[in-house]
Amino acid sequence: MAKILVTGGAGFLGGHLVGELIKRGDEVTSYGRHLPDSPIEGVRYLQGDIRDDRGVDAAVAGMDVVFHLVSNFRSAASDGEAESINVTGTEHVLQAALRHRVDRLVHTSTIGVHGSVREVPANERTAFNPGDAYQETKLRAEQRVWEIYRETGLPISVVRPISLLGPGDERMVKLFKLVKKRRFVIFGDGSPLFQPAYVDDVVAGFLLCMEKDEAVGEAFILGGDEYLPLNELVEMIAEECGVRPLGLHVPMAPMQWMASVCEAIFPPLGLEPPLHHRRLSFFQNHRAFCIDKARERLGFEPEVRLRDAIRRTLHWYEDHGWV
């Protein structure tokens, strides 16, 4: 039984990871600003801010393993908050892990460090191409992780998860809801590639990064191995919902103009723009990745096929009244 800290253990991915660690019999602590609506029995929840170095240090003390998941995933917060959470917060975790000599630190980065990929499928060696403040700060955090690894030898692995879906996911629910109601409009031609990953598969990859010596000093893209054009993804979701996809496409150029107008008007008023370029990137950027490195080095193998992942996620949404 290991003593394990999960920063962000109350979030979607963190909650699934914490649940699996508890099943294994580990002693698990979750640290983050938010507490879960449905706490997992056996987990010790510590409420604190990743930007509080003393709070982070106290949480890390006595731990064998630290999974660092906290981020401000594309929130409406300022770029400064992205810097303080993603970069400064990661520095606090790194320094605490060094002081308390943890056996393994698994740091969560993002496939977003590669931005809209310039090769298909992309891999861990694909050039970095961040496209917004979230991706840029996550890249700086990961680069700092590698500096610490080279300077100190702290046993670190880095995970770049593919876009997630699964029970409890709030990021894809709007897509499912609009497709089911036949209201989902595609901006552009719908040809960019998208690669969803079922959360349980990604959690299994995290555990391998904790267990395998081959993971130390390496970055791994984790997720499923199926990618397809956005048009086909929408069709697959519609089929599982028992409806025909709306099939309506809107040219991208006027939407980009509208996004620029919204970004100029709403932020000075302290409001989140109803349309912004970051949202449009979903319809523009290729997200197609190769998981061969994780397969070869870790023995990682996703078990849930894409259609099954969509079906399981949809059923959970329906059972909980989300769609």
Query: What pLDDT does 169 receive?
Result: 94
Query: What pLDDT does 76 receive?
Result: 44
How many helices, marked H, and strands, marked E, lie in the chain? 12, 13
pTM: 0.92
Listed as ranges, residues in the chain with pLDDT below 70 are 73-79
First to last CA, the chain: 39
Please give the C-alpha separations between residue 268 and each of 22, 153, 276, in angstroms, as whole numbers: 45, 45, 14
HSE-CB for 184 with a 13 A CA cutoff = 25
Query: What pLDDT does 286 receive?
Result: 87
Measuring CA to CA, which residue among 112, 135, 131, 133 is closest to residue 122? Answer: 112
Query: Does the structural domain 3-166+196-225+287-304 have CATH classification 3.40.50.970?
Result: no
Query: What pLDDT does 285 receive?
Result: 87
- C-alpha dihedral, 119 to 120 to 123 to 125, nearest 10°: -10
